[in-house]
Amino acid sequence: MRLTLRIWRQKDPSVKGTMVTYKLDDISPDMSFLEMLDVLNERLIMDGDDPVAFDHDCREGICGMCGVMINGKAHGGEHTTTCQLHMRSFKDGDTIDVEPWRASPFPVIKDLAVDRRAFDRIIQAGGYISVPTGTAPEAHSTPVPKKDSDAAFDAATCIGCGACVAACPNASSMLFTAAKVTHLGLLPQGQPERYDRVVNMVTQQDLEGFGGCTNIGECSASCPKGISMETISRLNHDLLGALRAGVKPKS
């Protein structure tokens, strides 16, 4: 396949970026999208140019490290991560635009790599169950209905890639936060901290500068793990309950 790539190049956060055009011949349809970028980078290196910086690690769709906008769609719009997108999804002669996640809480580090530590700080605000090592009771002491356990699992599959934020016109992190609130809130183990969790996590996402949720649904539509909008309803339900109960954020 022959392709024209237009890639966002930005040396560091202090300078303005721009789209730069590259031509590639000889791309196999069996390559993954990142392998195609590897081929480009190998060429740039041999020409003494600066290779395109992009984040990636497991390359099997589970670590959440990769993620770019491809033709304006997060991860290319195929319900998969960028690393699992294969070139057979494109046609010979295509022009492909490649850009980083665009959201102010995700500042660009270089080219296509952005800083997503804001997500970790949302988890730090309450995305856990407080159970220090060694304090756990016997696992079978609390049966969990299978339907709750399965639904908790579905929410827990969020990989924290940030596609939801990148796809959202408001750059809202609601789906990410709601997935964790849902995962832990559906389990009996998560009940004691349920209200504090939701209030603190929502407060943190506001502090980070993520936008508000207006139920557009681009987040779920672009989520490689198919996290459902239902999690957002659940978050709102918990949040209302918490506020009615007078729960205040800790910060």
Of 131-170, which residues contact other proteins (CB under 8 A)? 131-140, 142-146, 149-150, 152-153, 156-157, 159-160
Residues between 8 and 27 that touch other proteins (CB under 8 A): 11-12
Amino acid, res. 211: G
- Is 159 or 175 the residue whose CB approaches other proteins more closely? 159
Among 1, 6, 9, 59, binds other proteins (CB under 8 A): 59
Among 75, 86, 194, 234, binds other proteins (CB under 8 A): 86
Other Cβ atoms within 10 Å of 166 Cβ, number: 24
Q: Smallest distance, Å, CB 149 to other proteins?
A: 5
Please tell me whether residue 46 binds other proteins under the rule CB under 8 A: yes
**Whole-angstrom distance, CA of residue 148 vs CA of residue 76:** 32
**Whole-angstrom distance, CA of residue 114 vs CA of residue 107:** 6
- The answer to whether 159 and 63 are in contact (CB under 8 A) is yes
- Is 51 or 216 the residue whose CB approaches other proteins more closely? 51
User: 69, 84, 77: which is closest to 17 by C-alpha?
Assistant: 69
Residue 94 structure tokens: 């295509």
Residues between 192 and 251 that touch other proteins (CB under 8 A): none
Among 3, 33, 64, 166, binds other proteins (CB under 8 A): 64
**Whole-angstrom distance, CA of residue 198 vs CA of residue 104:** 23
Please tell me whether residue 115 binds other proteins under the rule CB under 8 A: yes
Please tell me whether residue 76 binds other proteins under the rule CB under 8 A: no
User: 243, 241, 249, 227: which is closest to 191 by C-alpha?
Assistant: 241
User: 156, 239, 153: which is closest to 203 by C-alpha?
Assistant: 239
- Is 212 or 226 the residue whose CB approaches other proteins more closely? 226
Count of residues near other proteins by CB under 8 A: 78
- Is 152 or 174 the residue whose CB approaches other proteins more closely? 152
Please tell me whether residue 190 binds other proteins under the rule CB under 8 A: yes
Among 5, 96, 183, 218, binds other proteins (CB under 8 A): 183
**Whole-angstrom distance, CA of residue 29 vs CA of residue 85:** 11
